[in-house]
Amino acid sequence: MKKVSSIVSAIALALGMTVALTPTANAACAGKLKIAYQGPLTGPEAALGLNELRGVQFAVKKSGLDIEVKEIDDQGDPAVAGPIAPSVPQDECVVALVGPAYSGASRVSLPVYLSAGLPIITPSATNPTLFDFGGKIFHRAVLTDDYQGPALARLITSKVKNAKVFLINDASDYSVGLAKLVDFTLGSRIAGKETTPQGTTDFTSTIAKIKKSKANVVAYTGYFSQAAVLVKQLRDSGSKAVFAAGDGVLDAQFVKLARKSAEGALLTAPAVPLDAASPKLAAEFKKTMGVEAGVYTTESYDAANFFIAAIKKGNKDRASILNYIKKNSHKGLSKTLKFDDKGEVAGVDVNGFVIKGGKIVLTGPIK
């Protein structure tokens, strides 16, 4: 019993210290205002984080304001995000945060930002439960996974007659979750299922199963680099089944890696690629940033611009910026950001895309 109480008091002490150490929302910032970006900037998931970071940097550059972008690298890993989150609001000049990119990292970071009153807009964390962790400071610029899975299923059935679907996930949280919703929506149209963990390079056995199942659609819920390897091997084996996938595959890199094999692939995303939203801006992005925009660059750009709009209106601290984004809306490239009382965007659809002539072509919202 004594042990338990000492643990309890240690936790209480730790909590007390966090509260005591975190500055109040109205603490003054002496120098330059900062917008932070949090996501994976090193490690295996870094490609996505860098897409988003560049979206934020691009927005700040274009704004002409003297704002610094503070990079917070959580590697997309809750175990890394936990220890660094408390240091983020300690810098009083950090008045807003775009991110965290991943749901797991968000869960551990959001309570800290809530106690510091730091407003956040995540461009890509799609787990439906995040409001419970972030409360009033939490906002999300995309739809949750609850919408994308059924949308992917509807896209398949609307584009392929008598669809028989072979469903593959890559064993990640995102992929398993999305696959479950696709599975649930398609029901008896599922001809077979398979899990190919991230890092699988040889799909021989999976393709043998696809052929045996006589499926005419292969739905993959993982990420683009592995999708490219899979679709290539699928085509090399002579299969003509339609390839369909979610937002993890929606990346110019997918087309670049899979080339001809990517042709005709159906994709969904609550996100809009920059070159689909505005080819002109995409070209400018490439010129300024030196690389092409990727998936969720547009959403990060929109999120950063919402904060920039708030700052331009003279809001220079966390509380007033939070208040601004709660009360106002922002017409972004991907959608109009207007948050409901749980920080979610309302009235937007999941978009469908098809790969045609080596380009990702937006086919419009999935009904």
- Give the nearest distance from C-beta 295 to another protein in angstroms: 12
- DSSP letter string, 72-133: EE-TT-HHHHHHHGGGTTTSTTEEEEE--SSHHHHHHHHHHHHHHT--EEESS---TTTHHH
Which CB atom, from 146 or from 202, has the smaller least distance to another protein?
202
Which CB atom, from 142 or from 210, has the smaller least distance to another protein?
210
Encoding tokens for residue 66? 């003297």
- Give the nearest distance from C-beta 234 to another protein in angstroms: 12
Could you list the residues that contact another protein (CB under 8 A)? Answer: 42, 44, 46-47, 50, 171, 194-197, 199-206, 208-209, 212, 225, 228-229, 232, 236, 253, 256-257, 259, 291
- Give the nearest distance from C-beta 131 to another protein in angstroms: 30
Sheet with 165-169, edge to edge strand ranges: 190-195, 165-169, 217-220, 242-245, 266-269, 351-356, 359-365
- Give the nearest distance from C-beta 40 to another protein in angstroms: 9
Q: Are 344 and 158 in contact (CB under 8 A)?
A: no
Which CB atom, from 13 or from 208, has the smaller least distance to another protein?
208
Closest CA to 181 of 274, 270, 109: 270
Which CB atom, from 56 or from 110, has the smaller least distance to another protein?
56
Q: Are 147 and 350 in contact (CB under 8 A)?
A: yes
Which CB atom, from 151 or from 229, has the smaller least distance to another protein?
229
Q: Report the interhelical angle of 173-186 vs 103-116 (nearest 10°).
A: 110
- Beta strands 351-356 and 266-269 are antiparallel
Which CB atom, from 36 or from 48, has the smaller least distance to another protein?
48
- Give the nearest distance from C-beta 247 to another protein in angstroms: 17
Phi, psi dihedrals of residue 117, rounded to the nearest 5°: 70, 25
Which CB atom, from 75 or from 305, has the smaller least distance to another protein?
75
- Give the nearest distance from C-beta 205 to another protein in angstroms: 4
Q: Are 293 and 54 in contact (CB under 8 A)?
A: yes
Which CB atom, from 95 or from 255, has the smaller least distance to another protein?
255
- Under DSSP, the state recorded for 23 is P
Alpha helices in the chain (DSSP H): 2-21, 46-63, 78-84, 103-116, 131-134, 145-159, 173-186, 204-213, 224-236, 252-258, 274-277, 279-289, 297-312, 318-327
Encoding tokens for residue 347? 């009235």
Which CB atom, from 285 or from 324, has the smaller least distance to another protein?
285
- Give the nearest distance from C-beta 352 to another protein in angstroms: 25
- Give the nearest distance from C-beta 229 to another protein in angstroms: 6
Sheet with 138-140, edge to edge strand ranges: 67-73, 33-39, 94-98, 120-122, 138-140
- Give the nearest distance from C-beta 292 to another protein in angstroms: 10
